[in-house]
Amino acid sequence: MTALANAHGAINLGQGFPDFSPPRELVDALKRALDAGHHQYAPLPGLPGLRTALAMRVQDDYGARVDPETEITITAGASEAIFDAIQCVVHPGDEVVVLDPCYDLYAPAVRLAGGHVVHVPLRGDSFGLDLDALADALGPRTRLVVINSPHNPSGATLSATEMAGLESLLERSPAWLLSDEVYEHMVYDGQRHESVLRYPALAARAFMVGSFGKTYHCTGWKIGYCIAPQALSAEFRRVHQYNTFCVFHPAQHALAEMLEAHPEFHRGLAAFYQQRRDRFRTLLADTRLALRPVPGGYFQLVDYSAVSDLPDTEFARWLTVEHGVAVIPISPFQAEPPAGQRLARLCFAKDEATLERAVSRLAAL
C-alpha cells in the first residue's frame, strides 16, 4: 500500500509509522555515539547499558524483576524478535495458536518452522479474547500461543480479567506464550497496559516483545527487544546469533543514554497519541465512515459500508488511486474474514496537518 500511495501521490495512512521525528535528545545522543566511534559489532545480546536501563524501566512499569544479563536480548526490530521466538520453540508438526485478526508476520514464521497455524477469531466488533474458543483450540500438539496487546489492527487491549483467564487456561497446557507488546505505552483513557510481565505465572513461560522504534518514533532504526526467562532466552539467542547476530551499535548507545537521562519519556506517549486519536476521530465524524473504538495503539478502524460495497482490498486500492488516501484492508490479517465485513485501518501517528488533509478527502466520499 505504501508503494501504491507513493505511485499515486496519496496521503499514506496505511503503513504504521509516524511522520514526525524522534526526540531531539535521542538524535543528539546518536550523533555523539557516532562521533565516539561505536562502528563495530555490538555484543550479541545487546549493549549491557541498554539492557540494564530497560530492566529498570520494566521494574518501574510492571513491577517485574528481569535479569538484564540473561533475560533481555536486543533485536533488529520487534519483527526479528517475533521471528526468532517462533523459530526457537516451534518444530515440525507443532501447533501455534494465533488470534485473528493477527499481524501478518506470525503465520509465515510458523509455517517456515514447520508448524501448523491454528486461527482463533477474536470476539466480534470488540475484538476481545474469546477464552472458550481458545480453550477449544488448545491441544496436545499446541506448542505456542501468540497474543498481541494493544492489538494490531484493531487497537483492542487485553483486560486484567482476560489475562487472568489466559493464565488459568495455560496452567493446564505445556504451551509457551509469545506476547507482542510493541504498542505497550499507547493505552488510553486512563487504562493501564496489562503486560504479560505483570503476571508471574505467564511471564515464566513467555517471550515478551517490545519496540524502541515505536516508542521513540524511530521505526527505521529497527531496534526491538525480547524479554524471556533465562532458559527461553538462551534458545532465543541461538536463533538470533545466526539471524542478525547483533543490532546497530551506535543506536544502542543512544537509546541507553535516552533511557537513563529521560526515563519519563515513554510515560507521555499515551497522552501524546490520545490527543491525535481524539482529534482524528473528531475530524472523521464529518465523514460517512463509522468509527470503531480505539483503546490503544495508533490505528483507527473504520467501517466503510455506507461508502462502498467493495471488498476491503479493492476498496483500499480504489481509495488510494481515486481519492488519494492510502489505508490498509483488514482481511489479510484474517484466515477467514467474516462475510460482509467492510473494515479498513487508518494510522493516526501523523501530524495534524496531514490528518486534516486526509480527512478533507475522505469527507468527499
For the chain, 365 residues long, give each residue's pLDDT as a single digit of tens.
889 999 999 999 998 889 899 999 999 999 999 999 999 999 999 999 999 999 999 999 999 999 999 999 999 999 999 999 999 999 999 999 999 999 999 999 999 999 999 999 999 889 999 999 999 999 999 999 999 999 999 999 999 999 999 999 999 999 999 999 999 999 999 999 999 999 999 999 999 999 999 999 999 999 999 999 999 999 999 999 999 999 999 999 999 999 999 999 999 999 999 999 999 999 999 999 999 999 999 999 999 999 999 999 999 999 999 999 999 999 999 999 999 999 999 999 999 999 999 999 999 99
User: Which fold, 2-21+267-362?
Assistant: Aspartate Aminotransferase, domain 1 (3.90.1150)
pLDDT at 268: 96
Find how far residue 53's CA is from the centre of its chain. Answer: 21
- Closest among 272, 274, 289, 278 to 359, alpha carbons compared: 289
For 60, the 3-state DSSP assignment is: helix
pLDDT at 124: 86
Domain assignments of the chain as residue spans, ordered by start: 2-21+267-362, 24-261
Please check whether the domain covering 24-261 is classified as CATH 1.25.40.10.
no
The model carries a pTM of 0.97
Burial of 272 (0-12, 13-18, 19+ CB in 10 A): middle
